[in-house]
Amino acid sequence: MAIYRWGLAGLILIVLVGASRAFAETATSVIQPTGEKSKGSGTATFSDTPNGLKVTVQVTNAPQGKHGIHIHQFGHCGDKGNAAGGHFNPDGIKHGYLPKDGFLEAHAGDLGNIEINKDGKGTLSLLIAGLTVTGGRYTVAGRSIVLHEKPDDFGQPTGNAGPRIGCGPIMITSE
């Protein structure tokens, strides 16, 4: 009977450790200008939490104003950011604002806009239930984050945010 109790306790411990590990993954992206005349660089961090994916983007040296920011399909930033492909959209859904509209009404990569101040700096923090670093349908690792020249106006099909001025592949940094 004592072996059974320790076996059960060990199993519970393994399940609890495994559950906490499921929310321990993080990824980062170093956003670089997409061309010689492009401005906008920075970093993005992606952290799995029990409540969803915490996304924090910090941009520097970008033009003042609102700029569309999206997760794009591929983790490549060549060809002035065009190698990143379109918005991450595994469900073929119309464009929207994921934090407000959810997966039924927005691309999985629709993060909206980041506001850049007169010093060329801006920060965006979001918590998005359903996105993950790895695992599941809405995985961001291996994709890229793209900073656009203009604001995302949430129009169809992709928000009319213009050319890509910054791009960075999303890479796993810890498990």
7 exposure class (CB count in 10 Å sphere: 0-12, 13-18, 19+): exposed
The tens digit of pLDDT for each residue in 74-119 reads 999 999 999 999 999 999 999 999 999 999 999 999 999 999 999 9
pTM of the model: 0.84
Q: How far is CA 77 from CA 4, 37, 159, in A?
A: 54, 16, 20
pLDDT at 23: 53
The tens digit of pLDDT for each residue in 7-62 reads 433 333 333 334 444 556 999 999 999 988 888 899 999 999 999 999 999 999 99
The alpha carbon torsion through 49, 124, 155, 162 (nearest 10 deg) reads -120
Tracing tokens 């994709």 back to the chain, one arrives at 143
The tens digit of pLDDT for each residue in 130-150 reads 999 998 899 999 999 999 999
Exposed e or buried b for every residue in 135-149, given b needs 16+ CB within 10 A? eeebbbbbbbbbbbb
